[in-house]
Amino acid sequence: MDFANASCREFVTVLASNAPVPGGGGASALVAAIGTALGNMVGSLTVGKKKYADVEEEIIALKQKCDALQTELLDQIAADAKGFEPLAKAYGIPKDDPNRDQILEEATMVACQVPMKIMELCCEAIEAIAVFAAKGSRLAVSDAGCGAVCVKGALQAASLNVFINTKTLKNREAAEEMNAKCLGMLDKYGAMADEIFETVKAGFFK
């Protein structure tokens, strides 16, 4: 199945099944794309409004960036499925096969790559949403808050798809390096997303 072009119902049905893919990585990529699009929507509702003429150029550039981010995030759904295939096959290798450990190690490293990429794209999306929330149309600021929440959830979800794999790596130096990078992104951009949400929420009670 071309997951990125499947209907919402089809995607969710396969996600709920016993099929190995899509899983948490593909789901996090989709959620991140949705969150990015919500921020981008704020930009779309800002462009062309006289009230926001002074930030229009910045918003247009940011919208173009988010268009590319949305596409790249959706591309990660298939990429994650492809990246997981070698690991799924490696687990099927007989335990007495002398090459099993090396094949598993290499496949595990591959399986970490796409969730890491999804996290990096989430960080870029959260930075963009922060600008939409601060400078975009006040009529749509709730959508920026929603976008921040969605992308933060995707960031966290993608990290778990890294951590479940780094836990089994024999190369502990590589594992700890990836873990540290993920934890750094979670700390910095999780806090940024929380700040967007809290600022947007507080604006409704002034």
Q: Which two tokens stand for residue 181?
A: 């990078």
pLDDT of residue 20: 85
Q: Are 28 and 161 in contact (CB under 8 A)?
A: yes
Q: Are 104 and 93 in contact (CB under 8 A)?
A: yes
Nearest of 188, 147, 185 to residue 163 by alpha carbon? 185
pLDDT of residue 170: 96
pLDDT of residue 4: 85
pLDDT of residue 93: 95
117: helix, strand or coil: helix
pLDDT of residue 102: 96
Q: Could you give the CA distance from residue 23 to residue 129 in angstroms, rounded to a whole number?
A: 26
Mind listing the pLDDT tens digit for each residue in 141-153? 999 999 999 999 9
Q: Which amino acid is at 42?
A: V
The stretches of the chain forming alpha helices (DSSP H) are: 8-15, 24-46, 56-90, 100-135, 141-166, 172-203
Q: Are 62 and 55 in contact (CB under 8 A)?
A: no
User: Which parts of the chain sit beneath pLDDT 50?
Assistant: none
pLDDT of residue 189: 98
Q: Could you give the CA distance from residue 55 to residue 46 in angstroms, rounded to a whole number?
A: 9
Q: Rounded to a whole number, what is the distance in angstroms from the first to the last CA of the chain?
A: 48
pLDDT of residue 2: 83
Domain architecture of the chain: domains with CATH: 24-203 (1.20.120.680)
